Structure 1
Amino acid sequence: MADLTMTRLHEVMVILQSVSLVFYFIDYLNKEPKAHRIAVWLLATVSILQTLFLIMYIMETKRFPILSLFEGIYFYAWLIIALSLILQLVFRLDLPAFFLNIIGFIFMTIHTFAPNQMEQSAVGDALRSELLFIHITIALLAYAAFSLSFVFSTLYLILYRVLKKKKWTKQFSRLPSLQQAENGMTLSILVGVPLLFVSLVLGLEWAYVSLDIFTVFDFKIISSFILLILYIAILLIRKKSRFKGTNYAWIHIYAYLFVIINFLLGSQLSQFHFWY
């Protein structure tokens, strides 16, 4: 029961940190103070939980937990997250803290779903199943966010055409404004990009601990990373104001076509992805 409780605690920390990454990403690209505050509070919660677990572990083992790779990874993740908080709260260095948070998340995930832990623990099979479940769920949430960006881009083009031809009728009164549609496109992928990144990290971890034969050159993995890079590029282009208006909307539509290809065709060509 104690092992199961600790496992659940670590899973909660991974989820909280992944949500924190989403808000950090929104703040970094959209300058949202509220998103930044939420991200810091979530990361602080993770740090407190990590510290409590570290103290409990020291009290139980009566030694400092750095004598094995498994323990060292956890302590390293704890240091990284603590340093991230110090950089933000003391030195106001938000960007370095953001990247440190990504590194901390990766190592926290490795620790939580480590192969040795799964082999030695009675809940190993359950951990694999839950890791796969979380990976798929977050991936689908990312796809949903990209779908929303496609909807907003389509509405933008419809509204632009209606206004340009001056054919406004009461049937179009429920359409958002051009600015609202454009903001909706950006916000949707601001959420989708970090979710996809988190899903990819969890997916790679699941494949490593669960599959006898695993290669990163699987079609689904490559296409998913291309999709991630594509949407990051869209955000960077948008930030530099190189594309606006209808051009920005069309980019979202073309990117979403790649989402559909990755979702449907990628699974068919993958060695171990069965449907999603």
Structure 2
Amino acid sequence: MFEVSIAKLHGIMIFIYAVSILLYFFDFLQQNRKANRIAFWSLTIVWILQTIFLFLYILETKRFPILTLSEGLYFYAWVLVTLSIIINRLLRMDFTVFFTNLLGFSIMVIHTFAPLTIQSEAMAEQLVSELLFIHITMAILSYGAFSLSFVFSLLYLIQYKLLKEKKWGQRLWRIGDLSQLEKMSYVLNAIGVPMLLLSLILGLEWASLNLTSFRWYDPKIIGSFVLLFLYSMFLYLRIRKEMYGKSLAFWNVAAFLIVLINFFLTSSLSSFHFWYM
């Protein structure tokens, strides 16, 4: 009964999520405020349904659902929706919500078709610990911050191109001010870097204490440190070298591609990260 209810909840949520994305896209093209309002409230319903799902899953499994690939993807999507709603309410940047949730919807679709094996579920039950819980949660939250930072940098490049080509119009003003887009991208990376660093420290400590097959040269570990280096360099270039503008935005976009590679590809190659992320 629980699985049937969850399946129905997923179907409804995916449908409403798709409607929200389509309405945001229509607003993007036509500057339709009514479509924008309906899209936002549809997204709010999606967030409520996602939160209900998390709550029901916690009650069913008696643990926080972040330890398998499917659970990690779902929590990642929930983080993106949560951040986009907060940003929209605080800054009223509609296009940020659109691009962020385009990414979030893609993650939700991948989650829907992600395989859930008995082996991964059984292993997840064995690996529950406070240390591991904090490690995974902080890693996914840092990925959420990097994802939203990527959206701001992408919007920065779009806005820069429109200004360069002198394409004035309503869409230009609604994307947001270049300085604001750049600042938000920087702030989110400044939040994501320490969270990722702490996550790595906790994860390495847990793995060294609990895993007999632990290897320091595991692809996931290497990928995570590469990611930490790239985003630390972003902060270094921004603060110490005072680099601004298009070059830094391109750096941020390129760094996010490594986020996706580390989230999906290196996890499949890892010897001990295959149960989540």
Return the TM-score normalized by structure 1. 0.52
Opposite residue 180 of structure 1, the aligned amino acid is Q
1:169 and 2:169 correspond? yes
| Deviation, structure 1 residue 127 | 9.0
Matched to 2:257, the amino acid is: L
CA deviation map 1:120-141 (0-9, x unaligned): xxxxx99952221211111000
Q: Distance in 2 between matches of 1:186 and 1:251?
A: 12
SS at match of 1:173: helix
**Partner in structure 2 of residue 100 of structure 1:** none
One-letter amino acid matched to 2:218? D
Please tell me whether residue 159 in structure 1 is matched to residue 171 in structure 2. no
Higher deviation after alignment, 146-155 or 166-175: 166-175
Query: Counterpart of 2:129 in structure 1: which amino acid?
Result: S
Residue 116 of structure 2 aligns with which residue? none
Taking the aligned partners of 2:163 and 2:151, their CA distance within structure 1 comes to 18
Partner of 1:235: 235
Q: Structure 1 CA distance, aligned partners of 2:127 and 2:215?
A: 21
Partner of 1:24: none
Does 2:215 match 1:215? yes
- CA distance in 2 between counterparts of 1:252 and 1:156 reads 11
Once residues 208 and 183 of structure 1 are traced to their aligned partners in structure 2, the CA distance between those partners, rounded to angstroms, is 38
Task: Return the letter of the residue paired with 1:174.
Answer: R
Secondary structure of the structure 2 residue equivalent to 1:199: helix
Moved more, 255-264 or 168-177: 168-177
Provide the C-alpha distance between the structure 2 equivalents of 1:266 and 1:220, rounded to a whole number of angstroms: 5
Q: Following superposition, which runs of at least 4 residues in structure 1 exceed 4 angstroms of deviation?
A: 125-128
CA contact (8 A) 1:149 1:189 kept: yes
Is residue 2:238 matched to residue 1:248? no
Within 5 A, what are the aligned runs for 1:140-219? 140-219=140-219
Deviation, structure 1 residue 242: 5.1
CA contact (8 A) 1:138 1:196 kept: yes
Q: Distance in 2 between matches of 1:204 and 1:240?
A: 29
Counterpart CA distance in 1 for 2:235 and 2:207 is: 29
Question: Is the CA contact (8 Å cut-off) linking 1:153 and 1:181 kept in structure 2?
Answer: yes
Higher alpha-carbon Rg: 1
- Identity among equivalent positions (%) equals 51
Matches of residues 109-148 of structure 1 in structure 2 within 5 Å? 128-148=128-148
- Partner Cα separation in structure 2 for residue 134 and residue 259 of structure 1: 19
Measured after TM superposition, the shift of residue 161 of structure 1 is 1.1
Letter in 1 for 2:159: L
Distance in 1 of aligned mates of 2:242 and 2:194:
22
Superposed counterparts of 1:56-71, under 5 Å = none
Deviation at 1:241, TM superposition (A): 3.5
Give the match for residue 8 of structure 1. Answer: none
CA offset at residue 212 of structure 1?
1.9
Structure 2 CA distance for aligned equivalents of residues 165 and 195 of structure 1: 38
Q: By how many angstroms is 1:214 displaced?
A: 1.4
Distance apart, 1:177 and its partner CA: 0.4
2:113 corresponding residue in structure 1: none
Alignment of 1:34-73 (within 5 A): none
- For structure 2, the residue ranges without an aligned partner over 5 or more in a row are 1-124
CA drift at 1:223: 1.2
What root-mean-square deviation, in Å, do the aligned CA atoms of Structure 1 and Structure 2 show? 1.8
Aligned twin of 2:24 = none
CA distance in 1, matches of 2:131, 2:196: 15
Query: Which blocks of at least 5 consecutive residues in structure 1 are unaligned?
Result: 1-124
Query: How far off its partner does 1:265 sit?
Result: 0.6
CA distance in 1, matches of 2:126, 2:217: 27
Q: Residue 9 of structure 1 corresponds to which residue in structure 2?
A: none
From the superposition, tell whether residues 218 and 126 of structure 1 become closer, same or farther in structure 2 (CA, over 3 Å).
closer
